[in-house]
Structure 1
Amino acid sequence: MLPPGWGTARIGDLCQLINGRAFKPTDWAKSGLPIVRIQNLNDPSSSFNYFNKEVDPRFLIGKGELLFAWSGTPGTSFGAHIWSGGPAVLNQHIFRVLINERFLDKTYLKFALNHRVATFIEKAHGGVGLRHITKGKFEETDLPVPPLNEQRRIVAMLEALLTRSRRAKEALDAIQAQLERFRKSVLAAAFQGDLTHDWRAANPDVEPASKLLERLRYERRLGWESAELERLLAKGRKPSDDGWKERYDEPVQLDAPALPELPTGWSWAPLDLLLTALRNGIAAKPDRESGLPILRISAVRPMSVDLADVRYLPKSDEHFPNLLKEGDLLFTRYNGNAELVGSCAVVRGLRCPTVYPDKLIRGRVVEGHVLPELVAMAANCGASRAFINERSKSAAGQVGISGSDLKKVPIPIPPLAEQRVLVDRVNRAFAKAASIDEAVRSAVASIPRMDASIMTKAFRGELVPQEPTDEPASVLLQRIRTERDQPADNEPRPHPKRRRETRVA
């Protein structure tokens, strides 16, 4: 139900539509008039192609013209825009929307068209990824038409409210950026020793990490010998001497010169020394709707493993060596995004047997000597992260780091008691940041809903008050019809054609 003084009209009765020119790649030039494509409307920073030949005036546009993109990906491509650039030539799949601004406010029409985008997409032809609406279906769509003065009041109110909405979104985005900087500063403070400075002052006699690492080195070898002997005996191969012990691979040495100085009692150690094993994942392609869960590559992000981000393999005993355990470390071995290569996180909260793919690599720490959370935190910041960045290599559009290079990553190790304090304090700080982040994300998600509500109120006539003195839309629409039907002096009068009557409230 429209307010008094409002009317409705077909888009085709309100404007003239001219589609852009169909350019071929061979038409493009390095200079001339820019060719305005849909991506140039959606993203002003997108690059232009150019045209330097004679142009039909129908395809020329200038600053302030109303345009409508009628083809592309639903949700991203369709929509009305007012061109803010200079002289240009219009590409196909975009209408010039020509109106008489004595009767219609151009910005009001832009908002009204965008409010009906969902309707246009419903009427569009094509598949899920690429659709288009025909000119006929576009023209037959009804729009609400208020008096001209009310159109202008609606535009003024919408622009004011949407500006506030945009500024709120920018402020919330800034909070999220600040939270990311906060997390980085917490990790930096942790591994510079600042976060546990007070603890060290209160516990000066704690065993230094150097002693811890000596003991870890001994127990790492002892653990390997025990497991290897068990394996040999299981195969019926009882050793006659200790020669088999020579197969033990000593941990790699630190290979990172000029490492930063650490707090008193801390030591640098290669990742390899801290682990009992480092194992690549499964190369098999997940192709089942159910079965054995296998993590996606996207499941691992810095200090976070999403155990719900899975696909499925057929269940098989051959995957047993790749089953994850609580406390396992997962590293991203390969990714298209270099910033994500080497991302490390700890597996916590397993609820069912789960494996991991070949673009991830699993590490298991020597229990009782180093906390996996400490290793994950260190690997994502400071000199450890810098080493990963330095050793990462690019090939075939993917960036990766080898297991042999991961073993050499330098990790700062505090005494075990300090590790526990450090990890606890970082987790507490991150939990506070996560709480704020959740509230911010909720607020950000509410903004599009509020904007949609504002638009709905605008086109129901509830956003601004009606003025009894405004000339009603019925008069305005009659003027549009009269002008449209009136031929120019040098044109023959058109034959009358049947037209659905414009509805007026």
Structure 2
Amino acid sequence: MDTKKLRQKILDLAIRGKLVPQDPNDEPASVLLERIKEEKERLIKEGKIKKSKRTASSDKYHYGNVPFEVPDNWVWTTLGEISNYGDSINVQVDRIKDNDWILELEDIEKDSANINQFLKKSERSISGVRHQFYTGEILYSKLRTYLNKVLVAPKEGYCTTELMSFNTYGVMSNKFVCHVLRSPYFLDYTLRCGYGVKMPRLSTADACKGMIPLPPLGEQQRIVAKIERWFSLIEQIEQVKNDLQTAIKQAKSKILDLAIHGKLVPQNPNDEPASKLLKRINPKAKITSDNEHYENLPF
């Protein structure tokens, strides 16, 4: 079973509105999008965020000109419209405390986005600038997007500038946004507009233009719950598969060990001794051994 393809299929169904049933009682996503816009305008007026020129309007995506069809109570928007992608906080390393968490790309497992290790600044040799991030924000690797290093920050810290830290406006599920960014559809988009050959990256402008299928909030939450349930089952399958492969490897090794020690099959006293066989193969051969148990070998 190709569990990677299975995960991708689940994500593809999720962002097309085919993983969970729609609830007619859910508030339409169009209303949610208006609330997001209002919250964004409020933050701009209060001076808490700056008006970004990178934001692309999603009005033209409401009818036609969309990557694929979504349920009637969903809408198409853009990453730049629903988030502050690109407005990361830069901090010089010498201003970071020794006990603060420093997250680097190599700490994140590809595809699963599991964090392999948590290291403090005092445990790393680093310099330059890092992005500051907070608990619950989305961390997205703009470098080699096909590695799917996308996650919700489990706690606050500082990360490499190859990771973009950002948040969404208003009431939204950041976990749902993560799943969209990891979906085959969005991966294909990043591969088409990424730049660089050996180290391909996604520009901030192209990331903000990336189109996002937006379901009602209630459905976002149901989708996330369903994905987590399926992914948990897949992880169990992978663990069983790994355990089985380990058992098979150990069994093969044990069988070979028994075989070369003459313990795999019973000896037949009527068999010609191996010493005579060796003499027939090479009459000049001398039978020698540095094994102190040579006389007890099964021939």
TM-score by length of 1: 0.49
Q: Does 1:448 align with 2:249?
A: yes
User: Which runs of structure 2 are paired with 1:11-410 in the superposition (5 Å)?
Assistant: 175=1, 177=2, 179-197=3-21, 200=22, 203-228=23-48, 248-249=51-52, 251-254=55-58, 257-279=65-87, 292-300=100-108, 304-310=112-118, 312-314=120-122, 322-335=131-144, 339-340=146-147, 343-348=149-154, 350=155, 354-368=157-171, 370-395=172-197, 397-410=198-211
Alignment RMSD (CA, Å): 3.4
Residues 29 and 217, structure 2, Cα contact 8 Å, conserved in 1: yes
Gaps of 5+ in 1: 1-174, 230-246, 486-498
The residue identity in structure 1 corresponding to 2:233 is K
Q: Deviations over 1:372-429 (max 9, x none)?
A: 111111112254332212111224x211111221111111111111111111112112
Q: Deviations over 1:78-129 (max 9, x none)?
A: xxxxxxxxxxxxxxxxxxxxxxxxxxxxxxxxxxxxxxxxxxxxxxxxxxxx
* Distance across 1 between alignment mates of 2:169 and 2:113: 21
* Distance across 1 between alignment mates of 2:89 and 2:45: 25
Per-residue deviation, 1:467: 0.7
The residue identity in structure 1 corresponding to 2:152 is V
Alignment length (residue pairs)? 282
* Distance across 1 between alignment mates of 2:84 and 2:66: 27
Residues 301 and 344, structure 1, Cα contact 8 Å, conserved in 2: no
The residue identity in structure 1 corresponding to 2:258 is K
Residues 260 and 383, structure 1, Cα contact 8 Å, conserved in 2: no
Residues 90 and 129, structure 2, Cα contact 8 Å, conserved in 1: no
Q: Deviations over 1:307-327 (max 9, x none)?
A: 333555349xx9998343332
* Distance across 1 between alignment mates of 2:112 and 2:222: 20
Q: Greater strand percent: which structure?
A: 1
* Distance across 2 between alignment mates of 1:283 and 1:393: 26
Residues 112 and 149, structure 2, Cα contact 8 Å, conserved in 1: no
Between structure 1 and structure 2, the one with the greater Rg is: 1
* Distance across 2 between alignment mates of 1:501 and 1:215: 85
* Distance across 1 between alignment mates of 2:131 and 2:99: 15
* Distance across 2 between alignment mates of 1:371 and 1:442: 35
TM-score by length of 2: 0.80
Give the equivalent residue in structure 2 for 1:96: none
* Distance across 1 between alignment mates of 2:163 and 2:111: 14
Gaps of 5+ in 2: none
Residues 142 and 201, structure 2, Cα contact 8 Å, conserved in 1: yes
Residues 296 and 310, structure 1, Cα contact 8 Å, conserved in 2: no
